[in-house]
Amino acid sequence: MRDVAVVGTGMTKFGELWGRTIKDIFVEAAHKAIEDAGVDHIDSLYVGCMSPGLFVGQEHLSAVVADYLGVTPVPATRVESACASGGAAFRQAFLEVASGASDIVLAGGVEKMTDGADVTDTLATAADQEYEVYQGITFPGLYAMIAKAHMHQYGTTREQLAAVAVKNHRNGAKNPNAQFRSEVTAEQVMASTMVADPLRLLDCSPVSDGAAAVIVTSLDVARKLKKSYAKVIASAQASDTIALHSRESLTTLNAVVHAAQKAYKMASLKPTDLNLIEVHDCFTIAEIVVSEDLGLFEKGKGGEAAAKGLTSLECGKTPINTSGGLKAKGHPVGATGVAQIIELYEQLTGRAGSRQVKNARRGMAQNMGGSGASCVIHILEGQ
């Protein structure tokens, strides 16, 4: 497999984009990425989107976006892996370029969640329909059960969960594309409406519209195009049982562990070699558990680490979610995985403004679907 790099990015603001259609926001992001990369054509495109069918009644999204982006007749494919759709789309683009089949591929993600569909029902299609959702469980409910088990087993506290939300909002306030640009206090988090014990409204990522896209090319093409680019030094993916009750453990996400191991091996790196990580914080507990399963902290110590500020932008050795994470940046499901890549690219090319991590050289993006049934991990390296 040959070397692959990210050479251009583009995204819309994330938020409630009432006046925008799904194709319009995707085209905005994709077009920006193409301009940013300075390429005059693309060989193919992948679009990650969890459920355009249920959210806006539109399937065959690949054809729709290829049409409206004006790139027909290039091949276009929609990729779906619940909330890991974006990361999975990026991985497909990576593999297509790495294999030599294409030189320039667009990897984008989009979701339009505010058009009136029952969001709780639609997101729940990422879980086991017959044996989890049938019984009345919701998405927040699944992660709440993980939280309760983690609190019971390791003593993780309500305050530690809140620390994650506070940190991510503080970072998000510095991100011009974030849905929420205001900070929150721990008290506000712990007083917000209870959604599923112990998770409250401010423990949960929001409902968002948004799109994000990147241009992926071979390293040769990248060198010809740009002075600064980010090389993809690891791409890994893993699966786990669909239902939470079938997992080996309620407090360890095996898909994350496996994908991470493969990624570290591919890049010949240890967790401490990373300068920043974009983690899939669909709920505050997810960031805590993932930080452990990525090998950053000992199992059970993720909450303590968050509370101590070990993952903060200001004083953390390995800042997590400098973009604001899903919590503050927003979580248009299919776009998230690609937006994580964009944050890494900005950081590694020194374009992260007030969010900049000093001397950022290597970053990881961890994207996850459902209650952890799929996980896609990428590691990027700057020059």
Distance in angstroms (rounded) separating the CA atoms of residues 288 and 265: 23
- Supply the minimum distance, in Å, between the C-beta of residue 119 and another protein: 9
Q: Does 144 bind another protein (CB under 8 A)?
A: yes
Closest to 98 (Cα-Cα) out of 220, 232, 1:
1
Tokens of 41: 């054509």
The residue (of 21 and 138) whose beta carbon lies closer to another protein is 138
The residue (of 6 and 204) whose beta carbon lies closer to another protein is 204
- Supply the minimum distance, in Å, between the C-beta of residue 313 and another protein: 31
**What would the DSSP string read from start to end of 342-357?**
HHHHHHHTT--GGGPP
- Supply the minimum distance, in Å, between the C-beta of residue 132 and another protein: 5
Q: Does 149 bind another protein (CB under 8 A)?
A: yes
CB contact set of 31 (below 8 Å; sequence gap of 6+): 10, 69
Closest to 283 (Cα-Cα) out of 343, 325, 239, 336:
325
Name which position in 89, 146, 259, 305 contacts another protein (CB under 8 A). 146
Q: Does 136 bind another protein (CB under 8 A)?
A: yes
- Region of 69-77, 225-233, 242-250, 293-301 interacting with another protein (CB under 8 A): 242-250
| Tally of residues, the chain | 383
Contact predicate 347/361, CB 8 Å: no
Q: Does 213 bind another protein (CB under 8 A)?
A: no
Q: Does 314 bind another protein (CB under 8 A)?
A: no
Distance in angstroms (rounded) separating the CA atoms of residues 214 and 42: 11
- Supply the minimum distance, in Å, between the C-beta of residue 340 and another protein: 27
- Supply the minimum distance, in Å, between the C-beta of residue 245 and another protein: 4
The footprint of another protein on this chain (CB under 8 A) covers a number of residues equal to: 34
Q: In DSSP terms, which residues pair with 374 in a beta bridge?
A: 239, 369
Name residues contacting another protein, limited to 30-59 (CB under 8 A): none
Name residues contacting another protein, limited to 174-203 (CB under 8 A): 193-199
Name which position in 246, 272, 354, 383 contacts another protein (CB under 8 A). 246
Name which position in 134, 191, 354, 383 contacts another protein (CB under 8 A). 134
**Number of Cα atoms under 13 Å in the Cβ half of residue 223:** 6
- Region of 13-21, 91-99, 146-154, 179-187 interacting with another protein (CB under 8 A): 146-154
Neighbour count for residue 5 (Cβ, 10 Å): 26
The residue (of 71 and 244) whose beta carbon lies closer to another protein is 244
Contact predicate 335/280, CB 8 Å: no
DSSP state letter for 30: H
Distance in angstroms (rounded) separating the CA atoms of residues 214 and 337: 11
Distance in angstroms (rounded) separating the CA atoms of residues 20 and 16: 9
By annotation, the residues acting in catalysis are: 83, 331
Interface with another protein (CB under 8 A): 118, 120-121, 124, 128, 130-132, 134-138, 140-141, 144-149, 152, 193-199, 243-246, 250
